Amino acid sequence: MNTSDYVHILEKHEASAVRFLENIVWDTADGYHVTDVDGMTRVDFSSGAMITNSGHNNPRIIDAIRKQLDSGVYSSYLFPNKARCELHVLLSGIIPSGYQSVFMNTGSEGIETALKIARIHAHKVLKNKGLVVSFRNSYHGKMMASTAIGGTEPIKYWISPAILGEISVQVPFPNCEYEPSSYSFDDSLAAIEAQGVSLSDIGAFFIEPYQGGSCSFVPSSYAGAMQAWCRQHNVLLVSDEVQAGVARTGKMWAYEHLGIVPDVIVAAKGLSACLPLSAVCARKELFDLCEAGNFNTTHSGNPICCAAAVANLKFILDENIVANAARMGLVMRSSLEAIQAKYPWFISHVLGVGLAYAIHVHVHYKPLLKDILRKFLANGLLVISPGGVGGTTFKLVPPLIIDEAGIREGCAIIDRSIAEIVDEFNLTADTAHD
């Protein structure tokens, strides 16, 4: 069957609420390349939504999955398994000392678990409402509570204002081109009170070290002030590392760029390289507040997923993938900034660290986003679909095993695609201001 055959199946049987990109049906993948069912191979600057940090079809991970399958142990909900124990030991070496972990299935489920920890802490220790403070334009997942604490208002219409008001309050992100650049943590506290919320009702701050849509990083000065205030008031600081963690930014955890140590860390996506698994890591005393059985789910700690995660983390540590992400990030930045220099009126910003980058197309050209995406795909590049603040961001997040040749190949496609768009629509610097 070809692409149109598979697309017809999806259109007939899959709910339209499931959004997929242009008609690209994957067939095989290896390293940082993906081949579709029609035989076209593309450079992958999406990592399957930041999952394949260790590259597609990594032999060490595939071998670990096969060995676990051969063992005959596929699930062990009511009992521990060896892979789960091994993953706990391995994970303990890359999280702060004295922290423990629980395993869930998805990033959203991990965020909901972190929220549960924060609410239990607020109920038993702080004796307050346990409100969560998060940033505008943040993204924390699609389940009810994770949507509620996210900062994208239009997608919350299905949640009642009463529920939203009991869960969260948002403040402007402190380092975004769409927000005041001088926004301080004191400004955030003032913004909370301006919404009629008492600071004494706060239970936790949830942050993405960089905003998932735009790759804008929280300034370290802001993060330091936030951590100091949280410690002073025994309020929890939660770092959502679902897409930012596991070497993506050239450090194992993105919060390391900020000079802080969060009370709770949520990891997923790149944690297992390909299978559904998330981890919530927190100070032991926080878990000790929670009743036994509070975090059990049917597939949590699934041995196949844990075996994949063990192999993935060992590969990342053995091959020094953190350093590669940092080095290749410098190549990515220089390549993207060279493109921006050619079209400063078309690309308004290049943001990112490590291999988490984004280009922001000038908002004037928002009507052309689908055309730009189609050019990328037609010319041989997979990217994260446009979104982020203003809806004009293309996220560029290749597998962390990529080399300089792969970075330059992908960026050359971006350059060529933009040139073709500029030529096709007769764009000039003047058109950005029409």
The pLDDT value recorded for residue 78 is 81
Residues of the chain where predicted confidence (pLDDT) is lower than 50: none
Residue 7, CB-side half-sphere exposure with 13 Å CA sphere: 13
The pLDDT value recorded for residue 153 is 81
Rounded distance between C-alpha atoms, residue 199 and residue 190, angstroms: 9
The pLDDT value recorded for residue 175 is 80
Ranges of beta strands (E only) in 148-212 are 168-171, 202-207
Tell me the C-alpha to C-alpha distance, in Å, between residue 423 and each of 157, 337, 417.
Answer: 40, 20, 10
User: What is the fold of 3-57+320-433?
Assistant: Aspartate Aminotransferase, domain 1 (3.90.1150)
Listed residue (192, 254, 258) closest to 221, CA to CA: 258
Q: Please report, for the chain, the start and end positions of each structural domain, with discontinuous segments joined by +.
A: 3-57+320-433, 60-318
Tally of residues, the chain: 434
SS3 34: strand
Q: How far is CA 189 from the centre of its chain?
A: 26
Give pLDDT tens digits for 318-335.
Answer: 999 999 999 999 999 999
201 touches 131 (CB < 8 A): yes
The pLDDT value recorded for residue 178 is 63
pTM above 0.85, yes or no: yes
CATH number of 60-318: 3.40.640.10
